[in-house]
């Protein structure tokens, strides 16, 4: 960063916009496709169980990429890997349009999960290279704003083009290709390749059972919400425009409530905030399980409450884990917790889809209520068994995206700077 000089941050100003623009475009396409697959799968006659399997395949690909991406980057470099994975994402999207079979879609979603996990690893490696301790908080905040803004905006392309025709798949493929342009035409240089760090489940469990159990339960519920949430919304009687609002309100509310919940967790035992947020998520699940599309405003309110309290649970769980994490173990902690989340998300997509297939849409939120209830009991037991971390030893809360371990490095380095 020596080239930046004392009159501001010219290198950061020149190189950060292409990365954030590419990230935003790709996040928009990925968020749009996730909702589209659920709605189009139903229109094609796929059962809810198959839709869950297609969602699970995405997270299985995501898991594989967490082990393989660093090796690919060492072999080919960041830009070539970024280009290859973006092309794979576009090809897989178009393949889903050509072959309308649930097994084929599962394979395509597996490749998309692999590709998108690798793409975010590349992007977040660049962000880490560009930001020093003075800028990490600002860069992470900008990245979160881009994530929220583009993912939400991408959802609203669905009612414009509709889920029924071929145009929407072509639009998603164009978005994936368009995401290549800002980075490919920039003056970016490749950062050092990420180190290959494997998960250590037993060791991380011993450090923080609450965080491990939390990330598993969050995967079981939040991962399922992204996969089966559109199916629930459509089955209770919402039209396509309302399904988009249903999903968007959950995402936006989750992003907004992370900060007050994080602020509160910095000032008390984080497990108490986990108890509060989990109880509220379970309560909103009960609310949603008793509604139908005849009262859409009530459904929207339930989606906002559920997303607002359920989505921050991942960041709260990882923050609790970091409070207890020994020096030198933070990246291993991040890799392990992300893997646990992905396992939960893959299983949750399957389990919740089978429940909806057997008993109907309202049972989806009965399922999320039960999972949150089990986590609630577990945290309550652990709170009685083990004292909280003293305030002076807590690391600052950082709202993290569940994308790649590289984003954790950005957030962790920011926390170290503030400590």
- What are the φ/ψ torsions at residue 186 (nearest 5 degrees)? -90, 175
Q: What is the pTM of this model?
A: 0.87
pLDDT at 113 > cutoff 80: yes
Reported as a single tens digit per residue, the pLDDT across 231-269 is 999 999 999 999 999 999 998 998 888 888 888 888 888
Mean pLDDT of 35-64: 93
Q: Select from 241, 232, 224, 339 the least CA-distant residue to 291.
A: 232
pLDDT on residue 417: 43
User: What does pLDDT average to over the chain?
Assistant: 84
Reported as a single tens digit per residue, the pLDDT across 327-337 is 767 677 877 88
Reported as a single tens digit per residue, the pLDDT across 116-149 is 988 888 887 777 766 665 666 667 667 777 888 8
* Torsion sign over Cα 174, 163, 346, 206: positive
Residues 398, 266 contacting (CB under 8 angstroms): no
| Topology (CATH level 3) of domain 7-418 | Growth Hormone; Chain: A; (1.20.1250)
Between these two residues, 378 and 74, which has the higher pLDDT value?
378
Mean pLDDT of 104-120: 93
Can you say whether residue 295 is alpha, beta or left, with left for phi > 0 and alpha for psi between -120 and 50 degrees?
A: beta
**What are the residue ranges spanned by the domains of the chain?**
7-418
Mean pLDDT of 296-316: 92
pLDDT on residue 133: 57
Could you count the other beta carbons within 10 Å of the beta carbon of residue 368?
Answer: 30
Segment among 171-175, 190-194, 277-281, 362-366 with least mean pLDDT: 190-194
Reported as a single tens digit per residue, the pLDDT across 51-86 is 999 999 999 999 888 788 878 888 888 888 889 999
End-to-end CA distance of the chain: 22
pLDDT on residue 418: 42
Give alpha helix (H) positions in 156-295.
157-161, 167-178, 180-184, 201-207, 209-218, 224-235, 240-265, 270-289
Q: pLDDT exceeding 70 applies to what percent of the chain? A: 82
Q: Which residues contact 342 (CB under 8 A, 6 or more apart)?
A: 59, 60, 62, 63, 66, 219, 223
Segment among 188-197, 295-304, 324-333 with least mean pLDDT: 188-197
- What does the alpha-carbon distance between residue 338 and residue 159 come to, in Å, rounded to a whole number? 32
Helix, strand or coil for residue 345?
helix
């Amino acid at each position: 960063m020596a080239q930046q000089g004392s009159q501001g941050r010219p290198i950061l100003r020149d190189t950060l916009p292409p990365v954030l623009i590419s990230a935003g475009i790709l996040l928009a396409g990925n968020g749009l496709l996730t909702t589209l697959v659920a709605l189009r799968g139903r229109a094609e006659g796929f059962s809810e169980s198959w839709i869950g399997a297609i969602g699970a395949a995405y997270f299985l690909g995501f898991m594989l990429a967490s082990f393989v991406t660093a090796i690919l980057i060492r072999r080919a470099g960041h830009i070539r890997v970024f280009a290859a994975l973006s092309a794979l994402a576009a090809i897989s999207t178009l393949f889903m349009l050509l072959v309308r079979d649930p097994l084929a879609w599962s394979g395509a979603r597996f490749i998309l999960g692999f590709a998108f996990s690798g793409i975010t690893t590349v992007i977040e490696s660049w962000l880490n290279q560009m930001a020093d301790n003075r800028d990490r908080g600002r860069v992470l905040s900008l990245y979160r704003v881009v994530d929220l803004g583009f993912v939400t905006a991408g959802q609203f392309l669905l009612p414009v083009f509709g889920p029924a025709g071929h145009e929407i798949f072509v639009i998603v493929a164009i978005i994936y290709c368009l995401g290549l342009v800002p980075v490919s035409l920039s003056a970016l240089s490749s950062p050092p390749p990420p180190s290959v760090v494997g998960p250590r489940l037993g060791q991380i469990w011993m450090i923080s059972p609450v965080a491990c159990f939390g990330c598993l339960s969050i995967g079981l519920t939040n991962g399922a919400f992204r996969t089966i949430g559109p199916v629930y919304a459509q089955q209770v009687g919402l039209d396509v425009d309302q399904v988009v609002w249903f999903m968007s309100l959950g995402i936006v509310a989750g992003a907004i409530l992370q900060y007050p919940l994080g602020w509160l967790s910095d000032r008390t035992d984080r497990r108490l905030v986990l108890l509060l947020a989990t109880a509220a998520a379970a309560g909103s699940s009960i609310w949603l399980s008793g509604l139908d599309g005849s009262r859409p405003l009530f459904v929207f309110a339930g989606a906002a409450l559920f997303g607002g309290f359920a989505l921050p649970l991942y960041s709260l769980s990882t923050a609790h884990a970091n409070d207890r994490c020994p020096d030198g173990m933070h990246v291993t902690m991040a890799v392990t917790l992300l893997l646990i989340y992905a396992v939960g998300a893959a299983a949750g997509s399957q389990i919740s889809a089978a429940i909806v297939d057997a008993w109907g849409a309202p049972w989806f939120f009965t399922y999320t209520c039960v999972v949150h209830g089990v986590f609630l009991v577990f945290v309550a037991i652990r709170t009685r068994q083990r004292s909280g971390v003293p305030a002076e030893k807590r690391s600052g809360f950082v709202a993290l995206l569940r994308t790649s371990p590289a984003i954790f490095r950005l957030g962790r380095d920011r926390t170290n700077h503030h400590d």
